[in-house]
Structures are given as structure tokens and as C-alpha cells.
Amino acid sequence: MVQTPRAGTEESRERKIALFWTLVRAFETGQPITQQEIISSLRIDDVTSHKRIPPRKLAYDGNENAHRQKFERDKAAIRDLGFEISTTKTPDGLDAYSIDPTSVFAPPLGLTDDERAVVEWAVALLGIGATGVARLFVDGPATAAGVEFSPILQPLTRAIALQRVVRFKYRKDNDKVRVRELAALGITMWRGVPYVVGVELDTETLKGFRVSRIASTPTVTKDVFDVTPTLRDQARSWEPRLGAKDEDIEIRLTTSSGFARVLASDLDVEISELDEPDAVEVSWKSSDLASARRAVLACGANVRRVRPKELRDDLVSWLAKVNRPIDHEVPAHAFDHGATRPDVLGQTLQLIAAVYEAPTAVRASALAARTGMDLELVRSVMSRIMALQYVRDTTSYLVHIEPGDDVDDEPVDPLYVRAASYDDHADHLSALTWRDTFELVVALKEASKLYPGSTLERIVDKVESVLNGAVRVVDVEPEYLSKVRDAIDNREQIKIDYWSAGRDEITTRWVEPRAMASRNGRWYFRAFCATRQEWLTFRVDRVFHIHAASPVGSTLPPDPIDNWADQQSDEGHDVVISLEPELRWLFEPLPTATWAPFDGRRELVKLRVRDEKFLDQLMVNAGPGASVVSGDFMTAGRALARRMTDLL
């Protein structure tokens, strides 16, 4: 029978899952298994069969060279998710493999039903973990926006909790890549951007590394290190802007007083008055030219007269190369090969974890909504998970799932429940990966800024105890966050002074806030603007003053956007951008980004663009390493780059 692309994907899923569980079982039985033993014995369902009970076949069939290459690819895929595969030597000198489940799953949190409800609210409020923790706790589709973390966090968080040295490739500001070895002490979320903080072994100094610039899956070594209380305190107080030296670049530029206040909310700046109307000079220090360039580019056309000369010359050169055309033609079906799907192993583990973490049974339709998979695929994957008989022979963290009672032999929407053996071992079993646990503590800490309370504090303590208190969330809380929250709770309208980015001016308006959300370190609120007579989304840090509050007067028209924080809709245009791998960190956090390979070195990213100004600024930030190759915005960013050049 000819194997369809869908069958090939499902066979790959089942093969990776079967290999994963086999290696877990090998660890728990104390009998690591060799490649030859796996290839000769591991069996999976024949997904090309139309029989009601599909026959079993070897997972790695074919000639010797082909199945060994397939095995190595599967092993690499497991490692790329941050899972540690241990290798030992047999008496015959062969490599034998196993997976310690504690390298995958964090210890249990022991949440009560009430605490689970708070967790679900916090995760939804932050829009965090669309491919991670949201799928465990949010009852419904996980948001596609907000803070999103890569598998890189999986080994980093484990290394911190176990006090083990971690090794990774890191891309510096000058785009050079080198290997770093770090005694990792913690992760600091600085205004929505994660940094891993620790002692670099080469220099024996405390440093922080931006996670988005880590260019390889970190390897957790077997080297254990000791941490003194003083060193732990230093790591917890580390900030990206510490360490400025006299020889650092001092940036000076002219801007409006309104935009100066925006810069002051993000940077440690000095503001000096000028004789010009509504103009001030802003200055701050940057550690190098590349960092200074990024900071000024992010200001768009809101600044002028940039100094020093070396920075201005660097900016002029950069802006001249924004969104230049490339010769390569984009393949017509570049994104048709499942580029938008999460890794099949990670996606399947999320299905299992969602059932484990549910206080009651879960319908297949609910799992489909959370994971973005279709119902038929969920049923197929879950049935094959339960068919892996060898999983039932182990008492590991990973136990099988049994279907709940249903009236039909083959229900359309089956019910899944935890196996009884899971509940028997609930004190030491967990379904949360290390990455899930990290995402969870970030959401809880952020949510506690808006609604502090004993329940949130108790849950944070539980998660922190698992992570050795190693995650720190640092944001400059907007001055009027609590007042906006109170207006929502009390159903009041408020009179605000608000800085408009598009017009670079402060306007006074009456608004009635109805909801709040945090995305990537920024707080937003949705409100009906009485001045403009429409629903708008506002950034809290751009509210410069609240004059008054008063009771709500009339009934408001309905908000035309349901999911306002993420604005998931059919509106906008798909744009495909070709970019150098060094720029992937700039595009990865975007909620609608999907990826595909291109011309051997560059990559393609497809975005849903609703705001042309956003795309213009994005292309300016990306500079010479990115080009729009399809869509309606082939010249995006060029006009803005020319305008910025004239202002410099």
C-alpha cells in the first residue's frame, strides 16, 4: 500500500513515542537498551492498514543503513525537545540508551481544585504557553499570542533545579557564535524577555544570556556545582543594564517630551530640556554599537539628531539596506509540509499531560480544542497511546491512560481519564515538564501584580519550591495599573492623558475599561473610548495621568472583537519574509509566525499582518538580513527607513 503524507506523519509520531517510552522503561528497569535491540524488537501499528485492529510491524524497517539513519533522527528529535538521553557502554562495548523521567518531568505540585482554577485564570490572563502550559490548564483553545517559550527552557530549568553545569552555543551582538559553559543559577524574565543567569566557567564571572540568542539545544552535563547564599542573591539581583563602563557608548538624541516618557519607562535615561517647543534631549549608555543600534531602531521615526557620529553612521548604513530584494524564488509549497505543527512527540506528551492534570475526565473534543488538532487525529493518537502495552509494565512517572465509559463501542467524542495507578502514586508522579513549570511560575508571578492574594502566593511557593526559587520576573509596573484595574472592577469610566504612538502626541479622553491582559511583559486594557466612540486597546504604560473616575452612564455597544488581546481573526494579510538565521530571535515571539527552510541557509517565516506600521517597524529592526518575498508589502519598511535617515 502506498504511504500517504498523513500516514507518514502518524508513523513518525508513533515511532518517536514508542522509542521515548522504551527508553524511559529502560531506565526504570536498570537495563539500558542498545540500538540493535531497539531496531530488532520495537513494534508499532501499521497506520496504512484499514483493518479495525491494525497489524503490528517493526518501527524501524528497511535496509540496515536506512533504519539506522531513521533511529538517529528520532533520537536527535527527542534531544532537541530538551530531553536527556543517557548513554552507557555494555560489556561488549556497545552504546546503550535510557531516559531518566526526572530529566523530562518536574516533581508534582499537588494543586488543589481551587488552586487549579486560579492557575487557569492566570495562564489565560497572561496568554502564556500556547504550545505548553496553556494546554494543560485552559479549558478551550489556547491563545496563539503572549509569552511563548522554546524547548531551550526545558534543559535550562532542569539544570538550574539540579545545580548542574549547562553547555550551549550562543550568538553575540556581532552575530559570532561560540560555546558557553554556565553554572546556571536562575532565569530572569526582564520585561517579557528571558535571560539565563549564572557563572560562566571560562571567565568565572556572573553573566546573563538572552535565551532567544541561544543557538543550540543546551546540554545538561553531569558536573554539579555548589551555590553560596551570597552568589544566589547576586544572581537574583542581576539585571541586563548592570555593568555599564566609562568606555560604553553614550547615546544622545532629540525627541518629544511624550516619547521621552515612553523611553524612560524602558531605559535608565537622563532627560534634558531644550529651547525648542516640546523637544527634549534623552541620553543613556549602551554596552556596544550593536545594542545601541537596536535601541535607536526600535524608536522608529520618533527621534532625531542621534549622536555619537559612529552610531549615526552605523544607522545610516543599516537603514539603506532595509528590505532589499533577493534573487531566490520562494517554492510554491514551502509551508505545506507541516511547518506549522508542533513536534509530534511534544504534541503527544501534551495530550497525555492534559489528561493527567484535569481534575475530571476529558473529552477528545476538549483535547482537540486545546492542541489545535482535529478530533479524528486526537482519537487516533490517544488510542495508539493506550495500545502501547509495554508502558503498562512500568511504574514510572508516565503511566497509561484508560478511556472513560461511553455508550458506543467507538464513540465519536470519547472520554479519557487517568489510570488508577496514577492516582495510587500521585505523591511522586507528575505530568508537568520542566518547561511547563517555568511557564507556570511566570504566569503566576505576573498575574499576582494585578490581583495579589494568598491563594496566588501559596501556588507560587509550591512552584518555586520545585524550581529552587530560581525564576525571577522583573517588570516596571505601570504607574496606573491598579487604577485601571479598579475601574474595571467598579465598572467606572476614567479620564486619561494618553500618548498616541502614531501621532506622537498626548491626548485627553474619556474611556470605559472592560478587560485587562498582559502580553510579552506589557499590560494592555480594552476600553470603549467615548472621545472616539469606538472600542480600542490601550497600553497601560502609555497612560500618563488619570484625572478622574465616574460611574458608567449609558449602555455600551458590543465590542466587535471577541479575543481582543490576541486579535485572532481572518483579517489582515499573509506576508512571507526571507531572513538570515541570526534574525530568527526577532521573529520567533510573533504569535502567527510559521517557519520553513529556504535556499540552504536562509529561512522563511510567514506572518499574518494586520497593521502595516507594525510590519514597517519590524523590517527596519531586521535590517539587511530580511526581505519580504511575497504578499502585498514587498516594499515594507523602506519608506520608514528613508524618513528615519532624514531625521538622523
Q: What cell was used for 512?
A: 470605559
621 CB-near residues (< 8 Å, 6+ apart)? 294, 297, 298, 586
10 Å CB burial of residue 459 (0-12, 13-18, 19+) is: buried
Residue 243 lies in a domain: no
Grid coordinates of 426 = 500521585
Quick check: is 90 in a domain?
A: yes
Among 58, 81, 99, the domain-final residue is: 99
Parallel, antiparallel, or unpaired: how do β-strands 95-99 and 85-89 relate?
A: antiparallel
| Structural domain contains residue 557 | no
Q: Are residues 22 and 92 in the same domain?
A: yes
Number of domains, the chain:
4
User: Are residues 513 and 577 located together in one domain of the fold?
Assistant: no
Q: Is residue 593 part of a domain?
A: yes
Can you tell me the distance from the alpha carbon of 295 to that of 283, in angstroms, rounded to the nearest whole number? 12
Q: Are 137 and 123 a contacting pair, CB within 8 Å?
A: yes
Q: Kind and range of the H or E element at 310?
A: helix 309-319
Cα distance from N-terminal residue to C-terminal residue, the chain:
65
In this structure, are 9 and 94 located in the same domain?
yes
pLDDT score of 168: 93
Q: Are residues 493 and 584 in the same domain?
A: no
pTM score, whole prediction: 0.72
Q: Which three cell numbers stand for residue 63?
A: 535496509
Nine-digit cell string for 61: 524497517
Q: Are residues 1 and 95 in the same domain?
A: yes
Beta-carbon count within 10 A of 53 CB: 8
Kindly report the CATH number assigned to the domain that includes residue 490: 2.30.30
Helices 375-387 & 364-371 angle (0-180, nearest 10): 110
The answer to whether position 590 is within a domain reads: yes
| Shared domain check, 599 and 531 | no
Are residues 90 and 16 both part of a single domain? yes
Tell me the C-alpha distance between 420 and 428, whole Å: 14
Domain assignment of residue 435, yes or no: no
Residue 352 pairs in a beta bridge with none
Distances in whole angstroms, Cα of residue 435 to Cα of each of 83, 103, 128, 148, 182: 11, 11, 12, 11, 19
The answer to whether residue 175 sits within a structural domain is no
Residue 113 placed within a domain = no
Tell me which residue of 13, 11, 65, 71 sits closest to 41, measured CA to CA: 71
Note whether 16 and 84 are same-domain residues. Answer: yes
Asked which of 58, 79, 99 is the last residue of a domain, the reply is 99
CB 410 within 8 A of CB 427: no
The low-confidence residues of the chain, meaning pLDDT below 50, are 1-5, 242-246, 337-341, 389-400, 407, 568-569
Long-range contacts from 328-333, C-beta under 8 angstroms, 24+ separation: 328/578, 328/598, 328/599, 328/602, 328/629, 330/576, 330/578, 330/598, 330/604, 330/629, 330/630, 331/598
The per-residue pLDDT for 340 is 39
Torsion on CA atoms 601, 606, 609, 613, rounded to nearest 10 = 0
Q: What are phi and psi of 219, to 5 degrees?
A: -105, 125
Q: Which residues pair with 213 in a beta bridge?
A: none
Q: Nearest Cα to 314, choosing from 268, 267, 251?
A: 251
CA-to-CA distance for 285 and 628, rounded, in angstroms? 33
For 423-433, b where at least 16 C-beta lie within 10 A, e where not — what string?
Answer: eeeeeebbbbb
Could you tell me if 578 and 512 lie in one domain?
A: no
24, 83: one domain: yes
- Within 13 Å and on the Cβ side, how many CA atoms surround 87? 7
pLDDT in tens, 154-212: 889 888 888 899 999 997 765 678 899 999 998 888 776 788 999 999 888 999 998 87
Nearest in space to 436 (alpha carbons), one of 122, 151, 112:
151
Asked whether residue 1 falls in the same domain as residue 94, the answer is: yes
Read off the C-alpha cell for 561: 472583537
**Which of 319, 342, 369 is a domain's end point?**
319
- Do 4 and 92 reside in the same domain of the chain? yes
Domain range for 278 is 251-319
CATH of the domain at 256: 3.30.70
What does the H/E/C string look like for 416-428? EEECHHHHHCCCC
H helical segments located in 528-598 = 584-587
Helices (H), 138-213: 153-162
Question: Angle, to 10 degrees, between the axis of helix 434-450 and the axis of helix 113-126?
Answer: 80
